[in-house]
Structure 1
């Protein structure tokens, strides 16, 4: 098992959200927010998930309120917002911190010292592509939309 797959998060409903079942899948990990100019990316994330999930792909949305307070709601608010406005069916974790002293261990793994693509998360909707073996394959800027050809090519290559 990889450190990625050993991670257990909390889902929006408070239940454990272990990443072990994602072993053997390609995962796009995204820090998300409901009140951001980039929030419409939820639609493209859901479409990617629908288009590739049967091929072994998953999206993991992780709400974060560290950027201009753009995810102020409760877990229930976030779940309702994502379902009603974007029909989100991919996994959503509970709010966590991606930078600073209280950076979640998953983000220490993705972007911390010694990571393949180290450095602070710059804004909401920064994306990490994690391979079937739990290794981080790519990092995409928040401004790179999920349906950008560079993201799609990286996903398709990882799925082969």
Structure 2
């Protein structure tokens, strides 16, 4: 089993503070109370957005790869290719295929590219940002072996 949450790094939590300050300054033109309300509302709204962006999960559970909203049976997947920083950059830019499924988080430099072998699926591969590409690849291989044993 594999479970990873693609949480935003601590440095990105400065954005909600900056957003709150900006909202506070804009609404300060209408008085101190609207300025304070703008500060609180701007900070809270930006924090909620950042938290939801960083709540994406990648899991391998019960014969499925769950990546964000996608749920793919492991038997529909081919070879998994762990990507280092440079390869990941290449696959999300110049080598990218428009039909590929991408769970991309720019603050995570490494990724896993998994081929899709299902003939009915037009998606050529999955690009999954992950902090542990080798661990995810091993979990997918183990899940495939379990499915083969059960069949």
Same fold (TM over 0.5): no
Bigger radius of gyration among the two: 2
TM-score, normalized by length of structure 2? 0.28
Which has a greater percent of helix?
2
